[in-house]
């Protein structure tokens, strides 16, 4: 039991509720649906779970054109047609032209794998519905070869969504759900520490201060998230910016290297305007 | 104890199903938790709640159920004041002088402040009178009464409907796209919308069908084409909120929710009664965060299809005269703006939740209908179907 429990890794800080959700999904063999602001580590979670539990890791990226069938298998009719023209002997076995999808792969691995279905909301609305039976029973039927593919172990399935579309209720019912909240200051400190263990204490606290200040600016089009903070700190370290430069009251300009945090020129303008106004108030 | 909890969650409006509840029980029997209340809480939340919007409600129900605090439910339902206080018991009309006197009572901010204070002071139900929160009084707090700057609590419909100016400014509700698509009606409507989202030119080679047809054709190659698979339809949804639309909130919510799930390119904006120079995306911040209609006109291309939803029930001044709006001074009349919209997006319909047999009695509906070039349809299944057909027609 103990080795199948997820407690975060040395690269990934998991909160208690996230651990619980992962462990429940692992134990019951149901998919876990993860939502949250962009940049809070949704995709990374699956990788880390695989690492922590020592399982093979499979990734299925969803695009707007992805169909559910592609996750199961595809029948490569074109190469069969070509082979038949060339008189290849392989042509008699249709099984040679069945290309396995990610779900099939996940069903047939030796050890129970972790399968990430990334950004499920990008696909067509029917996509989740088309996978209901497969995720529920963990089996599917291949028409061309008339075989039933059954999962050897129920794979640990982690699904991420960016909330671009509502997912159907029937699909939600079968999943565990977790919403990754934006980390508070302490959690954020732990996260940064995990990534930059040798960071100077003062730089860290100043940087966090400045970061949360920017996040609190009302009306930003894109608020910076964890991954942006990490990039920014990386830049600060690389450029060797002194902690004093990030100080709120001494700061007359927007923070150095703000390009890592604000990704939109309107946001930069807004922030500049707010700083200008607050400076005027003081004078 | 668990069953009670389940029922309470449902009462609080969290869409929990039996399957999910059974999953929770299964997880408990598999000993996923180590029997601490926190772990149980996390487990229950991951199992039962499938949308972060319900987290807050869930927390409150959980707290009340497992610590024996029953009273938090008020907050869940959103009514801090028991509704029966506000039941309609009497009516009241005031003279012009009274109205002016009440108007002098102070601004919005002050009202909210006093409101909070009053709430803590007051302990019983109240009706009439001019201070306490209740019904039919002249206190600014309450319902079914009259006060030009009043805060309305728990009153569902506007009572001074046909007045040219809306007197009481109230909190408009955001259309809630979280609403479940429970009714069979809307599911059918959804299917209709979907069909129109799937059409397009047949440009892609349909391999399966080509092979099948070729085989059936005894080896003669027969190419089959299909429309590209996409939800390429782009939709702009303009929704009327507040005022006379209060009667139709439910049906609009359902439509909105269905549309949100259906279209990838869906943009929505709110307006009040008639479109003017400003639209907004969030009702709570409608006075501060307005989008200029002109920039909306310039942002979205001609290929967007425009669906206006509104009852078009208003005073004719709101359509034809500059400055006719009930809420603000509009430099240009509503019909000017509407015809601008129609030029920008030739594919447009107006869905009207008012029953069709009443349309002819309301002059403003006739006017809007004329402006729309007869493309006004009732917000019913049939109307929706007709409207969608009108949207597809080439213009």
Torsion of CA B105, B108, B110, B116, to 10 degrees: 110
Q: How far is A20 from chain B (nearest CA, A)?
A: 6
Q: Flag whether residue A170 sits within 8 Å of chain B, measured between CB atoms.
A: no
Cα B73–chain centre separation: 24
Measured between beta carbons, which residues in chain A are less than 8 angstroms from residue B33? 20
B307 interfaces chain A, CB cutoff of 8 Å: no
Tens digits of per-residue pLDDT, B53-109?
Answer: 777 778 777 877 776 543 443 444 343 444 334 333 333 444 445 444 444 555 444
Strongest mean pLDDT among A171-175, B139-143, B144-148: A171-175
Confidence of residue B166 (pLDDT cuts 50, 70, 90): very low
Contacts of A175 in chain B (CB under 8 A): 50
Q: What pLDDT score does B98 carry?
A: 47
- Whether residue B205 lies within 8 A of chain A, CB to CB, comes out as no
Model confidence band, residue A159 (pLDDT cutoffs 50, 70, 90): very high
Q: Which residues of A touch B49 (CB under 8 A)?
A: 177
A90 touches chain B (CB under 8 A): no
pLDDT in tens, B282-319: 776 677 778 888 888 888 888 888 889 888 888 888 88
Predicted complex ipTM: 0.78
Mean pLDDT, all residues of chain B: 68
**Using CA atoms in the order B3, B6, B7, B8, what is the torsion angle rounded to 10 degrees?**
120
Q: What is the distance in angstroms between the Cα of B5 and the nearest Cα belonging to chain A?
A: 18
Q: Is the pLDDT of residue B13 over 50?
A: yes
pLDDT of residue A277: 75
Closest Cβ opposite residue A173 in set B17, B33, B257: B17
- From the list A166, A177, A219, the residue facing B261 with the nearest CB is A166
Give the chain B residue whose CA is nearest to the CA of A22: B46
Out of A21, A166, A173, whose CB is closest to B46?
A21
Interface membership of B176 toward A (CB under 8 Å): no
Closest CA to A155 of A15, A48, A26, A2: A26
Q: Which residues contact B163 (CB under 8 A, 6 or more apart)?
A: none
- pLDDT, position A89: 83
Question: Which residue of chain B has the CA closest to A164?
Answer: B264
How many Å lie between the alpha carbon of A32 and the closest alpha carbon of chain B?
A: 9
Q: Which DSSP letter does residue B85 get?
A: G
Q: B50, A172: Cβ pair inside 8 Å?
A: yes
Q: Where are the beta strands (DSSP E) in chain A?
A: 32-36, 57-61, 73-75, 98-100, 114-118, 139-142, 147-150, 156-161, 176-180
């Amino acid at each position: 039991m103990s080795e199948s429990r997820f407690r975060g890794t040395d690269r990934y800080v998991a909160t208690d509720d996230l651990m619980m959700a992962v462990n429940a999904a692992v134990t019951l063999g149901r998919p876990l649906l993860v939502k949250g602001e962009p940049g809070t580590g949704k995709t990374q979670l699956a990788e880390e779970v695989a690492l922590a539990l020592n399982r093979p890791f499979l990734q299925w990226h969803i695009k707007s054109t992805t169909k559910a069938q592609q996750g199961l298998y595809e029948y490569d009719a074109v190469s069969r047609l070509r082979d038949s023209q060339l008189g290849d002997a392989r042509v008699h076995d249709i099984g040679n032209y069945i290309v396995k999808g990610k779900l099939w792969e996940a069903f047939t691995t030796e050890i129970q794998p972790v399968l990430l279905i990334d950004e499920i909301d990008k696909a067509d609305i029917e996509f989740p519905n088309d996978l209901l039976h497969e995720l529920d029973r963990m089996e599917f039927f291949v028409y061309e070869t008339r075989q039933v593919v059954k999962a050897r172990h129920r794979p640990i399935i982690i699904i991420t969504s960016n909330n671009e579309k509502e997912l159907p209720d029937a699909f939600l019912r079968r999943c565990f759900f977790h919403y990754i909240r934006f980390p508070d200051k302490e959690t954020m400190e732990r996260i940064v520490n995990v990534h930059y263990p040798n960071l100077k204490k003062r730089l860290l606290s100043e940087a966090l201060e400045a970061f949360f200040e920017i996040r609190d600016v009302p009306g930003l089009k894109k608020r910076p998230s964890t991954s942006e903070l990490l990039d920014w700190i990386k830049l600060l370290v690389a450029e060797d910016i002194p902690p004093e430069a990030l100080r709120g009251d001494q700061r007359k300009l927007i923070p150095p290297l703000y390009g890592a945090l604000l990704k939109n020129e309107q946001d930069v303008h807004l922030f500049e305007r707010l700083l200008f106004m607050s400076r005027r108030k003081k004078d | 104890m668990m069953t009670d909890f389940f029922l309470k969650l449902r009462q609080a409006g969290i869409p929990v199903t039996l399957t999910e509840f059974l999953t929770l029980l299964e997880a408990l029997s598999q000993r996923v938790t180590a029997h601490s209340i926190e772990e149980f809480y996390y487990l229950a939340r991951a199992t039962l709640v499938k949308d972060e919007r319900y987290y807050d409600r869930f927390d409150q129900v959980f707290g009340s159920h497992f610590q024996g605090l029953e009273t938090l439910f008020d907050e869940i339902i959103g009514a801090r004041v028991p509704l029966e206080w506000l039941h309609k018991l009497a009516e009241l009309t005031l003279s012009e002088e009274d109205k002016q006197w009440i108007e002098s009572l102070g601004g919005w901010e002050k009202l909210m402040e006093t409101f909070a204070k009053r709430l803590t002071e007051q302990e019983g139900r109240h009706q009439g009178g001019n201070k306490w929160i209740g019904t039919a009084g002249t206190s600014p707090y309450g319902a079914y009464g009259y006060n030009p700057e009043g805060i309305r609590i728990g009153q569902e419909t506007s009572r001074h409907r046909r007045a040219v100016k809306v007197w009481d400014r109230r909190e408009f509700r955001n259309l809630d796209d979280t609403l479940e698509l429970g009714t069979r009606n809307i599911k059918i409507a959804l299917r209709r919308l979907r069909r129109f989202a799937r059409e397009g030119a047949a440009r892609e080679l349909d391999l399966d069908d080509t092979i099948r047809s070729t085989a059936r054709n005894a080896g003669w190659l027969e190419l089959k084409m299909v429309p590209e698979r996409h939800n390429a339809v782009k939709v702009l949804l303009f929704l009327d909120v507040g005022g006379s639309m209060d009667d139709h909130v439910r049906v609009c919510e359902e439509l909105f929710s269905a549309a949100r799930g259906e279209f990838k390119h869906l943009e929505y904006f709110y307006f009040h009664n008639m479109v003017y120079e400003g639209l907004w995306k969030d009702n709570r911040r409608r006075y501060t965060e307005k989008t200029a209609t002109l920039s909306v006109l310039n942002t979205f291309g001609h290929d967007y299809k425009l669906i206006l939803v509104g009852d078009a029930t208003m005073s004719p001044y709101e359509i034809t005269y500059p400055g006719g709006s009930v809420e603000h001074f509009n430099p240009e009349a509503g019909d000017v703006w509407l015809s601008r919209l129609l030029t920008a997006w030739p594919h447009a319909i107006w869905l009207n939740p008012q029953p069709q047999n009443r349309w002819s009695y309301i002059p403003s509906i006739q006017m809007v209908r004329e402006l729309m070039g007869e493309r006004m349809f009732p917000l019913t299944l049939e109307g929706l179907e007709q409207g969608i057909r009108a949207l597809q027609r080439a213009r």
